[in-house]
Amino acid sequence: MVRQGNYSQLYIGGTWVDAAADDTLDVVSPFTEEVLARVPAGSRPDVDRAVAAAREAFDHGPWPRMPLTERMTVLRRLAAALAERHDEMATLISQEMGCPISLSHTMQTTGAQLLLDSFLDLAPRYEWSTVRRSDTGNGLVTREPVGVVAAVVPWNAPLLVTMLKAVPALLAGCTVVLKPSPEATLDSYLFADLLKDTGLPDGVVNIVPADREVSEYLVTHRDVDKVSFTGSTAAGRRIAALCGQDLRRVTLELGGKSAAVVLDDADLDVVVPSIQALSLRNNGQACSNKTRIVVARSRQAELLDRMSEMVTSLSVGDPADPATHVGPVVSAAQRERVEGYIEVGRQEGAKVLVGGGRPAGFDRGWFVEPTVFTDVEPSMRIAQEEIFGPVLTVLAFDGEDEAVAVANDSDYGLNGSVFTADPEHALAVARRIRTGTVELNGNGVGFHAPIGGFKCSGIGREAGLEGFDAYVELKSYGLPASLADTLSRQS
């Protein structure tokens, strides 16, 4: 049973084992600033044990050799176990990183459940094996598991991203070493508890919290075949460079500075709730948040009035309170970063429409007021750099071409939105925006579609059928015609 307190063990080889060293990581409540728990700080020997367990399970264990249907049965048990402990998981995530509990129930936990279900639905449709016949030969083309996967997940959506990486890897037949963020490790302990009751063979999933230095050791480990990382673009560049030295396969889902383009015929009754839901969610700490609001100048004043009213109506407070819209950011360092950007915005000449400080009435907790900047130019740092807090910038445009240019004026290309009364026109504009996902009038793509970024927002895609691609290697077999006939009939 996962509980608050101190932990002395790591989940390696299908069981709880003592950590190799006495170093610990503090998991601190961003609301109370008190230590929730201490967990072992994984060391290099711990990583060696975890990778060795995953290597053994992949090279000699049953998991990669099971039929897909048997692996799916195990993961269905995981889905059932998660459903039974949904409330506990949501509470843990809110406690450790400050997500409002209402969002922990929906995005963090129900979202993870739906993502798992989505992969289970899609797995039988994936083209694991096909026979290709031609005058030049008969080929059996298979997609086989890539091997041992190092899955490095962030603190802002720890369980959701764990599912985004671990589930397709496991369904493909891979084994996994999961490296949770030091700020949010408690959910990974509960995740390990859930795994123990599924019938997952020993060593298929191993979990080692660790700091940056040990994390780098993991992603460069000679027995790791694949690295899947979600986090900042700066960290992604470092991981890409490290993996590149050994030509290790790598998937990167990185930062964003996404634009919501509000055309002159947009329905603000749709726009404003979407900004609340998709630009300020998770206390502003979501890489896909639309933090640049790019609005037709003819609608700017009206939108600013509506945004000001919406933002000032938000309840800021205890993430455990169902009425809270915005909780604290994850750490004192993160608040310092966000407040630094707010000061930079003022120095650059942007104007604070609402917010800009710390909310009154909180003697503790790493809170930042939801903040909206106006008079923002595209070249300003607050319009170019990822802030990762509840800070929005509003930029005006005079024509559609300028709107597209502003939306594309970014090193990032992760997400975006287009709002207009004409959905076909919205799609036409969205096609011009260089980003991995564009939501029309606030409509999400769902978990059956791939997500990921252009430019500095990453390499590769996750979710959807394409989410399996990261965890397989293509292999081709030359076949005699008789065997090609037999396999073709079987498929």
Q: Residue 473 class from Cβ within 10 Å (0-12 exposed, 13-18 middle, 19+ buried)? A: middle
Neighbour-count burial for 346-356, b at 16+ CB within 10 Å, e otherwise: eebebebbbbb
Residue among 96, 253, 339, 462 flagged as catalytic: 253
Residue 287 among the catalytic residues: yes
**Inter-helix orientation angle 233-245/212-219, to 10°:** 40
Residue among 287, 386, 439, 456 flagged as catalytic: 287
Q: Is the distance from CB of 119 to CB of 160 less than 8 angstroms?
A: no
Query: Active-site residues: which are they?
Result: 253, 287
